[in-house]
Structure 1
Amino acid sequence: MLSAVCVGETMAMLTPVHAVPLHLATELHFGVGGAESNVAMGLAAMGLDTHWVSRVGHDGFGTRILHELQDHGVGVSGVEVDQSLPTGLYVKVPAQESDPDGGSSVLYYRQGSAASAMGRDTLSNPAVSALLENAALIHLSGITAALSPECLSLLEAILTSPRNGRTISFDVNWREALWAGQDRSVLQRLANLADVVLVGKDEAEHAFGTTDEAELRHMMPDPKVLVIKNEAISAISLDRSGSREEVPALSVAVVEPVGAGDSFAAGYLSGMLFGLGQKERLRRGHVAAACTLTVHGDRGPLPDAAELAAILDSSDDVWAAIHVEDGQFNTRTGA
């Protein structure tokens, strides 16, 4: 079975159970959240032998994260448990009905977390080195690079190591709060070292100063493929050879956008590992994202294998007529 390894921080997540200001909340929902672990769970759901490499604290938050990953079929043998540093935490404050234009907000408590202490020493862990050596895919993100100089050094070590048949993907995953006061040109350098780069068009403006496809490809000439996620419009792949593929996004009754980008990454990357063409990879990414967009939380269940195959193999007209609501893929008549 093909093996994938995702490297990065996952935090405990707290959010008010009811849509009230944080200071009025009497109950908080306890969940977990992390871009790389979201991708790991998505890849595992798609039939890949998937592992997560990180660090957590010796606390209830860390234990909950490990159990969550294991429950979703993700291996955690490459996770170190720190006896002194805590697991990172963030509080997700939902948008208020009284201020519908305000949007949700996030409070991070991750400085000095166990995961921020990942570094080149992490690679000397025999469990981690074995996982990375045997992986068909290693997935990284720009979030990790911003956590600490040690984390940046870890990514540089992985990205500059001999491939030996492995593919390294890099999702830019722009986070404004993490890069405040830091040199964001680091992201361009790291991305150019990867084989596959994923970036949202909205992120590209912040991270690279442009949303122009040609400019982005010029700034990152070395990756085999650059995938640009154009929000709810389409997704575009730009091969190093110069070929371009664009697939329109599905019509979706959106419940919550959180996690959709990670689901898209899992869909696209799994398609790559299964040997699909660019169009099919992009479609697979859209399907996975749509499943997440129609649920509360960071992940939504995929259609069964037969339905998924039918969706991916559909004609362009049928694809354009699909509407996704409550996790159901229906074809609109007259579309």
Structure 2
Amino acid sequence: MTVPPVPPATPATPAAPASPAPSAPAADRGPRAGAPFDVVCLGETMAAFRPAGPGRLADSPLFVRGVGGAESNTACLLARTGHRVRWIGRVGTDGFGDHVLAEIAAHGVDVSAVRRDPDRPTGVYFRTGGERSTTGERPADPALAEVLYHRAGSAASAMSPATVDRAAAESGRVLHLSGITAALSDGCRALLYELTAPRPGRPLLSFDVNYRVGLWKGRDPAVLLDLARRCDLVFTGADEARAVWGAADPAALRELLPEPSVLVVKDGGRGATAHTAAGTWQAPALSVETADPVGAGDAFAAGFLSATLRGLPPRARLRHGHLAAAAALTCPGDLAEPPGRALADRLAALDDEAWGRLRLTPGWTTRKA
């Protein structure tokens, strides 16, 4: 990677609450001060297995073990960029639970609020490389990822208002959640409704829609709109918004979701748009040599949240999101080595022409510029 010279950087679920009536966007509320952690991320993390070589799951005799979870992916990347981060989840008292906790803690994330369940297993999933299918069915296209979950009845699905310490969940300047949790069980959905209830002094609520069609079979994904409307910062992909709400255009999505103070719409390799109280901001995506698309959305959220915690302006937040996503795209697996803060700041400060000329290849985050 060659960086051009730049100037210095500057229980049974109660009935779901009715959707609030649309209103004018709120002021851009920043993260609260004085909390023990910068970000608390809550959700399920599973033991993840990837084929050691190319091919379908049925053809793979060997697998590489890791961990995978949208919220813990974001937590690990935030911790590796210097933030104080806690992950809250629930795992079994099994070897996979040991592995999940050890791996996440190794990235500098606090796991002291994670609960072990002696009666339920840690979730497990297997996946090949490639883009995720949007149909929820086994993909016929070999370019699409084959994903096989064993998470029904998992320890994480037993999360509920009764099993999660709310004080621990609210111990950060930001509480980051995703729509995946709401689909795991009635108790998980009730937990998200409790954590997103309007009340004074709550953390800034960050919500990544993360629509997974397979998880919502037999459930009403309209819950995702309710939850998004109760949060301060919302991330959604244009493709998932089209699938779940029938809208993908950033302006149409802002009309659908006027309540969050910041709405970020990601449109794959084209770019991302941020709607804020001060206006609308756009940043084109970077040109990258993709090794694996897994984890790019979680990484984008981490980059954007990091820049938000640092008080950077909206366009810089989008660019930091793109840089973190580029790190994930150019590395196989769920977690990549994020760019150091000095490098990320330097690249985010490029003028539009220089930004458009960047092409990032595997290993770019660890090379000298």
Settle same-fold status: TM greater than 0.5. Answer: yes
Pairing 1:202-217 to 2, within 5 Å after superposition: 202-217=239-254
Residue 7 of structure 1 corresponds to which residue in structure 2? 42
Question: Aligned equivalents of 2:248 and 2:85: distance in 1?
Answer: 32
Pairing partner for 1:111 from 148, 152, 157? 152
Shift of 1:105: 0.9
Question: Aligned equivalents of 1:53 and 1:35: distance in 2?
Answer: 12
Q: Does 1:290 align with 2:326?
A: yes
Residue 32 of structure 2 corresponds to which residue in structure 1? none
Answer yes or no: is the 8 Å Cα contact 1:6–1:139 preserved in 2: yes
Q: Does 1:45 align with 2:86?
A: no
Name the one with the larger strand percent.
1
Query: Matched residue of 1:52: which SS?
Result: strand
Question: Aligned equivalents of 1:205 and 1:41: distance in 2?
Answer: 29
Runs of 5+ in structure 2 lacking a partner? Answer: 1-35, 131-139
Pairing 1:123-142 to 2, within 5 Å after superposition: 123=164, 125=165, 129-142=166-179
Query: What TM-score results when the alignment is normalised by the length of structure 2?
Result: 0.83
Pairing partner for 2:259 from 199, 202, 222? 222
User: How many residue pairs end up in the alignment?
Assistant: 322
Answer yes or no: is the 8 Å Cα contact 1:300–1:327 preserved in 2: no
Pairing 1:32-71 to 2, within 5 Å after superposition: 32-71=67-106
Answer yes or no: is the 8 Å Cα contact 2:37–2:86 preserved in 1: no
Question: Could you say if the C-alpha distance between residues 100 and 186 of structure 1 is closer, same or farther in structure 2, counting changes exceeding 3 Å?
Answer: closer
Name the one with the larger helix percent.
1
Deviations 1:307-334 (CA, angstroms, capped at 9, x unpaired): 22211211111111111012327xxxxx
Partner AA of 2:38 in structure 1: S
Question: Could you say if the C-alpha distance between residues 258 and 120 of structure 1 is closer, same or farther in structure 2, counting changes exceeding 3 Å?
Answer: same
Q: Does 1:80 align with 2:121?
A: no
Pairing 1:237-252 to 2, within 5 Å after superposition: 237-239=274-276, 241=277, 243-252=279-288
Deviations 1:227-258 (CA, angstroms, capped at 9, x unpaired): 0001001110012x361000001111111100
CA RMSD of aligned residues (A): 1.8
Partner AA of 1:93 in structure 2: T
Q: Tell me the percent identity.
A: 43
Q: Does 1:170 align with 2:214?
A: no
Deviations 1:295-316 (CA, angstroms, capped at 9, x unpaired): 1111221223322221121111
Query: Matched residue of 2:292: which SS?
Result: coil
Question: Could you say if the C-alpha distance between residues 46 and 281 of structure 1 is closer, same or farther in structure 2, counting changes exceeding 3 Å?
Answer: same
Pairing partner for 1:154 from 182, 188, 191? 191
Question: Aligned equivalents of 2:202 and 2:162: distance in 1?
Answer: 23
Query: What TM-score results when the alignment is normalised by the length of structure 1?
Result: 0.92
Question: Aligned equivalents of 1:20 and 1:268: distance in 2?
Answer: 34
